[in-house]
Structure 1
Amino acid sequence: MANLPTLEEIERAILEKAQKWVKRPQEIFPVYQLNVELQQEGGFTAKEIGNALKSMHENGWISESQSPVHLLITESGFSEM
């Protein structure tokens, strides 16, 4: 049986991938593109990524942006990067 990634591992992968777009707190990143890249390169499922994004939102690391296709990295989320 394969080892499944932990929620923390997926959150870390999201933060690492978001660094491609985010250079400072309160910047946005394209959630759809990030999702596709993590599925293709990281081997994560859409459900795993969705659960990690939900957890990150609950932890205050990300928030919704004015665009429905972007998320915003908060100060606390940026400090986790």
Structure 2
Amino acid sequence: MLVTSAAAGITFCALYLLVDVYGWRRVAFGLEWMGKHSLSIFILVASNLIVIAVQGFYWKTPHNNMIHWIVSHVVQK
């Protein structure tokens, strides 16, 4: 718990320095976008619409999609 809270504190301090003090807003553009649309992201993920949409995109065969690649390379290792 101490390690994860320290990592979160260091990350927060680094982002604060970069974005608010030095004015590098492009560094946190993705985080800002996710913060603005957090409820929409939660609804899409909780209802599995994101998974269904991502599985619709595949290379050559329906079995060769991004979800299958993530499960076989990241989750099962």
What is the TM-score with the length of structure 1 in the denominator?
0.27
TM-score computed with the length of structure 2 as normaliser: 0.28
Structure number with the higher strand fraction is 1
Question: Whose radius of gyration is greater, 1 or 2?
Answer: 2
